[in-house]
Amino acid sequence: MQEAELEEYVRKELRSRNFPAVWSMLLYGQYVEEVVVGGLDPEWLVDRAREIRELLASRPADKSAGAAASASGPDAGEERMWALSQLVARQVAEDPDVVTFRAAYLPDGLIARAEVEDWINKQADRDGERTSDVSFTIPPGTTVQWDGPVPQFDPPIAAVTTGVHFSSRLLAYALPGDGGVRRRTVTANGGLDRLGRLGETLASTFGWQPAQATVFVLTGVPPMISAVRAKVPAVKVRYEFELDWARRITLDVDPGASSQEVVEAFERARAEYHQTGRRRTSVKHLRLAAFAGAEHADQPWAERFRLWNEHFPKWAYPHQSNFRRDAAAAQRRLLSP
């Protein structure tokens, strides 16, 4: 099943108004590639889509994904970042890679933001059929020799048996009014692939997001630089147990940001993962979670109950049922707050 057919199949199965965002995350997580090239069943992708839909339903829209600095002037309190955004965009417009790309792919000049998706669709037709990348583990003792750009393995590899991974190259962009990032698969070394790689470079250099950089290269609209950017965990759906405990929030702070801006950015990011009203776990219940769930997990519950009351008489339980209930709840609260 080709990507376009697979997209339509998942769309019909999912019946979700938020399908573009779900499909974007399926592409971003390389789940689509696992089906198109890796041979997994389409129903597996539908299951991943349902899980992502549920996760996205509880997350606020990413308003910064395609945010642009208003041409009419800054909003109150954003004067500094607005001015900085204008100056940075003016400098980036003279970047040799940007100038070269625009000369090659935008011979008639920059386009309007509303025309971005139409331009991308037309360029995709010019680039040709989608491609996939594959990486694999080279057997021990194998060396790589280059004949110009062509690699040759010595000794030759008859079959690839380990470390095979499929991936696709993606272009991130956003349209006016979008609450998140759009992505699409691109052809290796085509115009969209070149645009995507240029966008990634600009984003990492100038404090933009890749979707903002894509729009800037095509339209010249200055991206709005954030005083504080919060990086939150990506959607994870490949595990049979929750990984909330492993999530960390990273703040990328401009030196000129105020302490209030930092606090507000952190609170928004924390709220995204429902941590704002989180109860603190008592010392007793922290100790109980480790005692019953790890230190003595190989013992029957009756023995764990006896050992707990012996080691912690001040926290002793009169009934095993209450002990088991509290131990299970303590573990859930710690692992999946």
* Of 7, 2, 5, nearest in space to 26 by CA: 7
Residue 172, phi then psi, degrees to nearest 5: -100, 135
Tens of pLDDT, residues 24-58: 889 988 889 989 888 889 999 999 898 888 877 76
Torsion over CA: 211, 213, 214, 215 (sign): positive
Quote the distance between the C-alpha of residue 45 and its chain's center: 17
Residues of the chain with pLDDT under 50: 237-241, 275-277
HSE, side-chain direction, 13 A CA sphere, residue 104: 13
Contacts of 178 by beta carbon, 8 Å cutoff, 6+ apart: 65, 66
Place of tokens 């089906």: 35
* Of 88, 70, 67, nearest in space to 79 by CA: 70
How far is 131 from 160, CA to CA, in rounded Å?
A: 20
Task: Provide the Cα torsion 219, 222, 225, 229; round to 10°.
Answer: -10
For 190, the token pair is 């085509």
HSE, side-chain direction, 13 A CA sphere, residue 214: 28
Strand 143-147 with 150-154, pairing: antiparallel
CA distances from 123 to 29, 34, 66, 116, 231 (A): 24, 25, 20, 11, 31
pLDDT, position 250: 81
How far is 61 from 273, CA to CA, in rounded Å?
A: 13
Tens of pLDDT, residues 160-180: 888 888 899 999 999 887 877
Tens of pLDDT, residues 206-246: 888 899 999 999 999 999 888 777 776 555 544 444 555 66
How far is 196 from 318, CA to CA, in rounded Å?
A: 63
pLDDT, position 276: 42
Place of tokens 């997994």: 40
Domain ranges across the chain: 1-59, 79-132+168-225, 227-278, 283-335
| Helix 3-14 × helix 19-28 angle, to 10° | 130
Q: Under a CB-based contact definition with an 8 Å cutoff, are residues 295 and 307 in contact?
A: no
CA distances from 42 to 8, 137, 308 (A): 11, 27, 49
Stated pTM of the model: 0.69
How far is 320 from 101, CA to CA, in rounded Å?
A: 70
Residue 279, phi then psi, degrees to nearest 5: -75, 145
* Of 192, 139, 179, 229, nearest in space to 59 by CA: 179
